Amino acid sequence: MSHGFPNPLISGFNPDPSVVRVGDEWFLATSTFEYLPGIPIYRSRDFATWERIGHVATRPGQLGVDEVPTAGGAWAPTIRHRDGVFHLVITDAMGRGMLHFTATDAAGPWSDGDLILKQDGSASVDGIDPDLAWDEDGMAYITYSGLILGGPQLGQHLGIQQVRVDLDAHRALEEPRSLWSGTGLQFPEAPHLYRHDGGWYLVIAEGGTERGHGISIARGESPAGPFEPAPSNPLVSARSTSRPIQNTGHGDLVVGPDGEWLVVLLGVRPRSMTRAFSALGRETFVTSVRWGADGWPEIDPVELNPRPGASVVDDFDGPEFASDWIAVRRLPQEVGSLTEHPGSLTLHADGSTLDDPRPVFVGRRQEHLRSTSRALVDVSAGVGGLAVRYDERFHVGIEAGDGVLRAHAAISGLEQEWSEPFDGSEVELVLRTRRPDAEPGFPRTSDVIELGAVVDGEERVLAEIDGRFLSSEVTESFTGRVIGVFATRATVLVNRFDYEGDDE
């Protein structure tokens, strides 16, 4: 059964989706890890067109990501709505801990975030992927994946756990109890509880967020269980199939526009001979859910239905950053200024480079498998450029300044550079991602990244990089490609940034 919605539903680095329906609108949140602003909120009135209306973490201190290690930070939100208030629970992994945010308007502002404390109040509840549900009496339940993130038990996994919580005091009312933790596959996570047709359903992900990922379900008479597993688990998984969307899992159920049930979930779009490399990381997808006569749901395979191509141009002519812009471990306005030189983004180097955890870099998610990004930069007073990054160990870019045009590739400690003289002060830098050239046999990479510049009216390519090295599998990253501008010496002005892409 085809639902007809676009897939990906939300493209690019948008993993771990959670969705809630409020009236005739839907609100969806995704993970952001070490990037800020954190936890985007998307709204739709038809479930096909989604608008980013804000973020949960827009102020310093709401998420403690300043010093988190790579892959830490904002993991796996759950968004819910009750009595006129939006609730969002999330783990700020290796940062503040398990947090509860509230807002009366999903666009924000959101609260500062309260720690969900253990029963003795000593520390945050220790786990990830928290879910929030209320029973018929209004008691709140936090159900979560029991991964321990600190101390001598770091890395130990206790399965799916649950506590009843006083949301006013933000404290557990009991010691954690263990719930059904799946069929025995690795890493049970992403639990969500639903009241449906007189019963309680516990949906979880298992198999790991890689190729073995899937969704399984159990049901019981109480939100605390005991739970009986569905006989056909896992209900959805792309493992050992040739489907173009892999790693499908981490799902959240919701009623769609016509009363049909849907599940939003994460997945990747791998390419290459063995479909080994996912350039864009984990994205948000949707598929249909049907409830059978036996009370168990059936979930359709996730079908590819890409949107038409899109483009964006930013001339930096306003005083605030567009909501697309993100920065690493700090907010974009802490990295660059839109008011110092009106009509330009001003970046002041601070001694860091793209090899550092807090670079002078602001970017946007790469949303398409084929893309071209251009940045018009003034390097008369500094050195900077245009780059695509996964993290501080994996990035490639093109920069200008100090009489040189330089392309670079940094791949987990291996670095290569290509350079040529350049004596101008303003230059258009180009970063393109495309399919590899035709060659005998099958392509053995996801794509090719071209790094170039427009010099004397002619575009010149300094380097072509194998895109597999900036894929989620090679980088072992939970995020995705982010394309943006940076400064490494003195002051750089970015006078325009444009991006266009499609999923050819």
Long-range pairs for 127-130 at CB < 8 Å and ≥24 separation? 127/91, 127/98, 127/158, 127/161, 127/176, 128/75, 128/76, 128/91, 128/93, 128/189, 129/16, 129/75, 129/76, 129/78, 129/91, 129/189, 129/190, 129/191, 130/76, 130/78, 130/89, 130/90, 130/91, 130/98
Q: How far apart are CA 156 and CA 176, in angstroms?
A: 15
May I ask the CATH class of domain 310-502?
A: mainly beta
User: What are the two backbone dihedrals, phi and then psi, of residue 67, each rounded to the nearest 5 degrees?
Assistant: -120, 10
**pLDDT per residue as tens digits for the range 140-190:** 999 999 999 988 888 899 999 999 999 999 999 999 999 999 999 999 999
> Which portions of the chain are predicted below pLDDT 70?
1-2
- Cα–Cα–Cα angle for 411, 416, 419, rounded to 5 degrees: 140
The pTM assigned to this predicted structure is: 0.97
Instruction: Check residue 1 and give its pLDDT.
Output: 45
Give the tens place of pLDDT for each residue, 207-226. Answer: 999 999 999 999 999 999 99
| Amino acid 2: pLDDT | 53
Give the CATH fold of the 18-240 domain: Tachylectin-2; Chain A (2.115.10)
pLDDT at 442: 85
Domain with CATH 2.115.10.20 in the chain: 18-240
Where exactly does CATH 2.60.120.200 map onto the chain?
310-502
